[in-house]
Amino acid sequence: MKTVLSGIQPSGNLTLGNYIGAIKNFVKLQDEHNCYFMVVDLHAITVPQEPSSLRDRSESVAALYVAAGIDPSRANIFLQSHVPQHAELGWIMTTMVNMGELERMTQFKDKSEGKDSVGAGLFVYPALMAADILLYNANLVPVGDDQKQHLEITRDLASRFNHRFGSYFNMPEPFIPEVGARIMSLDDASKKMSKSNPVEGSYIAMLDKPDQIRKKISRATTDSGAEVVYDPSAKPEVSNLMSIYSECAGVSLQEVQARFEGKMYGAFKKELGEVVVAALEPLQNRYYEIRQTGEIHDILAKGAEQAQKTAAQILDGVKDKMGFLARK
């Protein structure tokens, strides 16, 4: 089986976009792949975090993985910080990446724009992300469009290592599903739905209450006109809402369009609210059960133990090829 590696930061509230674009696909991938799904808490601290919030959100993201259908008996679920090899290989990758490569990273430019001071961790973030992927010799990495650049630098570093020290790392490939890969903001369909957006009405959080979901969808921006037609270029706002309906109801976009032919936006948005509530309610119930029982701690311990076996073996091979003296 091919190996899949992906992770989500425990910062902000996971959104419907995270669920549709990432976690739902994690669930599908676990059936036919060797999967490692992390909570990337080391990446989260590239910007200041309040300790109790970081701790709670790390557990929350892991619990949402399980609540959404990731099976701990078929996939490794763990915290990045529980596997120390991530930090060690991250440093090794930092020594192999060039300043110019890091300066060209779009995310660094975006996140540092307008700031007087930027932490070095944010600058070298791609080296740690490369280490995350290479530590399991991953074949496939589920990524959004905004992460493609990070995967490219990972491939460059893998190739650079192989050239210098002999063939060792796989060349990871992006896994981008055709549908649902990019759910856009409710107030501006030109922007991705983001948990870091300060405008709460721009996103639906996975743990939003039903009335919050209905209210946010009722206030979602729509295009001029009133027809429920899928046309991302001419009608980006309603097309985004139709994508959400399609993913949450499990029907095609053609079926959504046919279902609301001749109906106005109001009727569509009202039913969309109920569809999203119905999709998230069972997940939410399972989430609160997991948090209450505390079972997530056993899941994370088991996942870290399994992940560390692979990570330690890969890292030992890296250090041997580079000439580090082995510990006796």
235 carries an active-site annotation: no
Residue closest to 71 by CA, chosen among 23, 137, 39: 23
| pLDDT reported for residue 187 | 93
User: Which of 28, 115, 192, 209 is labelled catalytic?
Assistant: 192
Q: How far is CA 223 from CA 32, 232, 240, 263, in A?
A: 40, 11, 11, 15
The sheet that has 3-8: what strands, in order across it?
Answer: 75-79, 34-39, 3-8, 140-142, 173-175
The burial class, CB within 10 Å (0-12 / 13-18 / 19+), for 147 is middle
| pLDDT reported for residue 146 | 67
- Within the chain, which residues score under 50 in pLDDT? none
Cβ atoms of residues 142 and 182 within 8 Å: no
N-to-C CA span, the chain:
33
The pLDDT tens digits for 183-232 are 999 999 999 898 888 888 999 999 999 999 999 999 999 998 889 999 99
Count the Cβ atoms, other than its own, within 10 Å of residue 206: 23
192 carries an active-site annotation: yes
Give me the phi and psi of 3, to 5 degrees please. Answer: -100, 135
pTM for this prediction: 0.92
Q: How far apart are CA 184 and CA 197, in angstroms?
A: 12
Q: How far apart are CA 95 and CA 93, in angstroms?
A: 5
DSSP state of 324: P
Q: Number of C-alpha atoms within 13 angstroms, CB side, residue 30?
A: 21
Q: How far apart are CA 284 and CA 206, in angstroms?
A: 8
Q: How far apart are CA 91 and CA 85, in angstroms?
A: 10
Give Cα 182 to chain centroid, integer Å. 11
CA dihedral of 180, 184, 185, 186, whole degrees rounded to 10:
-70
In the structure encoding, which two tokens stand for residue 309, read together? 């076996």
| pLDDT reported for residue 116 | 76
28 carries an active-site annotation: no
**Which H or E run contains 68?**
helix 51-68
In the structure encoding, which two tokens stand for residue 79, read together? 């915290």
Instruction: Write out the E strands in 145-225.
Output: 173-175
DSSP-based helix, strand, coil % in the chain, nearest 5:
60, 10, 35
User: Which of 2, 111, 302, 321 is labelled catalytic?
Assistant: 111
**Which H or E run contains 306?**
helix 295-322
Pairing of strands 173-175, 140-142: parallel
Q: Which amino acid is at 271?
A: E
User: Which of 2, 195, 215, 321 is labelled catalytic?
Assistant: 195
Residue whose token pair is 């001029």: 224
Q: Give buried/exposed letters for 68-99 (b at 16+ CB in 10 A, else e).
A: bebebeebbbbbbbbbebbebbbebbbebbee
